[in-house]
Amino acid sequence: MTARDDVVSAIGDALGDVLEREITGLTEDTRLFDDLRLDSSKVLELLMLVEMAVGITVDPDDLDIDHLRTVRSFADYVESRQAIGEGVS
């Protein structure tokens, strides 16, 4: 499993927890709002779970809606936070 796979898996697990259902058939092209029906009230919960799972810190003011369009765009954002060492102690 690659680091990218770990990030996508963490996102999938967090989505399942936030949406309170099993997420099947998740791909990087899955759209968070359109396909999974993620809503704005669940975004902060998703961010917190992903932060804990992958060891990053997300500033919601730094996050753009484009980062949350698809699993791919969110994974790219998470990896960019990992690459600059945000929240790593």
pLDDT in tens, 47-73: 999 999 999 988 878 889 999 999 999
Q: How far apart are CA 66 and CA 55, in angstroms?
A: 22
pLDDT at 19: 97
Provide the CATH number for the domain formed by 3-83 in this structure. 1.10.1200.10
Rounded to the nearest 10 degrees, how much is the dihedral formed by the CA atoms of 47, 49, 54, 55?
80
pTM: 0.90
pLDDT in tens, 29-53: 999 999 999 998 899 999 999 999 9
Q: How far apart are CA 21 and CA 56, in angstroms?
A: 25
pLDDT at 20: 97
Q: How far apart are CA 17 and CA 88, in angstroms?
A: 24
